[in-house]
Amino acid sequence: MLPLTALLSRRHDREPNHIAMMASVPDAPRSSYVPNPTSGNQAPSFRVVVGIISIPSRYIHYDPKMTYPYPPPWGAVPLDAPTVPEPPAARRRSLPAWVIWSVSAALVLGLLGAGFWMWWSEATTTYREATVAYDAAFADAADAANGLRAEVLTHQTQLADVQSILDVAGANEGLVSLESVEALTTTHAALTTSVTDTLAVSDEAPTALPPEELAWPWEYANAAAVRTSAAADAAIYEDTVGTAEDDITTAHRAMLDDANTLWESVPDHAAALETAHLAARRGDVIGFRSASDDMSREISEDSISSTAPTRFTAYASAAATLRTSAAEELAEKAGPLFETRLEVEAFARSLAGGVLLDFDWAESVNGAGPDGRVGGTASWDGGSGGSATITLSNSVAERWPDDVPKALVAHEVGHAMSGRCYDMFDWESRDENEAWATAWALSMGYTADGNGVSIYGYPRQELIDIAATCR
């Protein structure tokens, strides 16, 4: 190995500038050199870079024709020096084809695998998210459908109840206002239609998606798309249910309002029925009043109760009993004195202040009647606001409207008033009962014979004053 030294960019002030190259060539003698034509004492000035490079001697080639500005201090290369052959270029070994193909395939497969894994991961993530959204939407839709079905069942029950009431009202005139029946019939039909439409909506409830066996990314992607679409459909269905619920609620509200209007018409019509059947027996009147009062409990802002049909049917039945009872009582009073008897009874009721009165008529009462005298009896009951049964001789009707039979009737009504005011006297005493009836007739202004004074004596003023407060 020989050193090759190049001296560049050095300015020589004391000796000539030159470039020296030193090489060793086997068996090459030192010889003369060819001077540079521009030789002399010229000292060219140029920049040089100093570097030392070690190069194997076999790779150094000298061109014999090469000239130098100055002879190297160690001699020149002879012109006839043998040429050193250039070394052959280094031969690069190439890889076998199968290695290249294997590496390439591995790279491709790696890239494909990474891409596939990313695809699968994204697909499964999307599927899980879609499944969560679908499960929530389906659960909400299912709850909405179940709630709608339950509401429909409730309305169906109420529709059946109202239809029963309408049937009863149609078969029994006078129980409620005709206008309320017509209005309830209309809103009942509207709710029936709404229920039918709502049932159709409930039948359209989404069904759960079947379980799936998924493996490939495209399968997860397709399943996610299906679930996303199903979730959207479930949300739309839930909105549809909400609309159906609003419609059926509105229809039910209208029917409920008309039902309440029908219930509210009961008291007036019940009073009219009672007035039209005054002759009915007091027990039947009490039963009718109780049944009509029960209908007021059906007034509600929320719903029509399940008891409404039963109560309305009972009300209708009591009304029918009232009619029958009145007809039977009137039949018993039939005869030549019929109209007069009704006048007497009406007079007694005008004094009684709402205490229920039954009337029986006989030819003789307490031994009076056939001889022209008037006779009467009374039995009273403190329940239901007071009631009584008064029995009068036919002579009362025959002598009507004389003061005597009026005074007698007033005395018997005084007994009837005991059912309302029994706590004002010793009602357990027979004598006190007669004194009370007499005092009550006097407090009403009936002083004629028959008021009881001629038989039971004049009552004490204190009792008369107390009786005057019983009305």
pLDDT band at 22 (very low <50, low <70, confident <90, very high): very low
Q: What is the pLDDT, as a whole number, of residue 165?
A: 97
Q: Say how far apart CA 42 and CA 46 lie, in whole Å.
A: 13
Q: What is the pLDDT, as a whole number, of residue 68?
A: 45
Give the mean model confidence (pLDDT) for residues 410-434: 96
Q: What is the pLDDT, as a whole number, of residue 23?
A: 39
pLDDT band at 254 (very low <50, low <70, confident <90, very high): very high
Residue 431 has pLDDT above 60, yes or no: yes
Question: Which secondary structure element, helix H or strand E, spans residue 391, and what is its range?
Answer: strand 387-393
Q: What is the pLDDT, as a whole number, of residue 41?
A: 44
> Helix 266-276 and helix 308-332: axis angle, to 10°?
20
Q: What is the pLDDT, as a whole number, of residue 336?
A: 95
- pLDDT per residue as tens digits for the range 399-409: 999 999 999 99
The dihedrals phi and psi of 428, each to the nearest 5 degrees, come to -80, -10
Residue 444 · residue 351 · CB < 8 Å? yes
DSSP secondary-structure letter at 424? G
pLDDT band at 303 (very low <50, low <70, confident <90, very high): confident
pLDDT band at 40 (very low <50, low <70, confident <90, very high): very low
Q: What is the pLDDT, as a whole number, of residue 301?
A: 86
Closest by CA to 71, choosing from 20, 7, 9, is: 20
Give the other-Cβ count within 10 Å of 468's Cβ.
13
Where do the domains of the chain lie? 1-86, 132-268, 333-471
Residue 53 has pLDDT above 60, yes or no: no
* In the chain, % of residues over pLDDT 90: 67
- pLDDT per residue as tens digits for the range 188-217: 999 999 999 999 998 888 988 888 888 888
Give the mean model confidence (pLDDT) for residues 212-224: 88
Q: Say how far apart CA 470 and CA 467 lie, in whole Å.
A: 5
Residue 108 · residue 204 · CB < 8 Å? no
The dihedrals phi and psi of 5, each to the nearest 5 degrees, come to -120, 125
Least confident stretch, 46-60, 113-127, 155-169, 376-390: 46-60
Least confident stretch, 20-34, 245-259, 318-332: 20-34
**Which three-class secondary structure state does DSSP give residue 347?**
helix
Closest by CA to 182, choosing from 193, 170, 200, is: 170
Closest by CA to 270, choosing from 185, 176, 360, is: 176
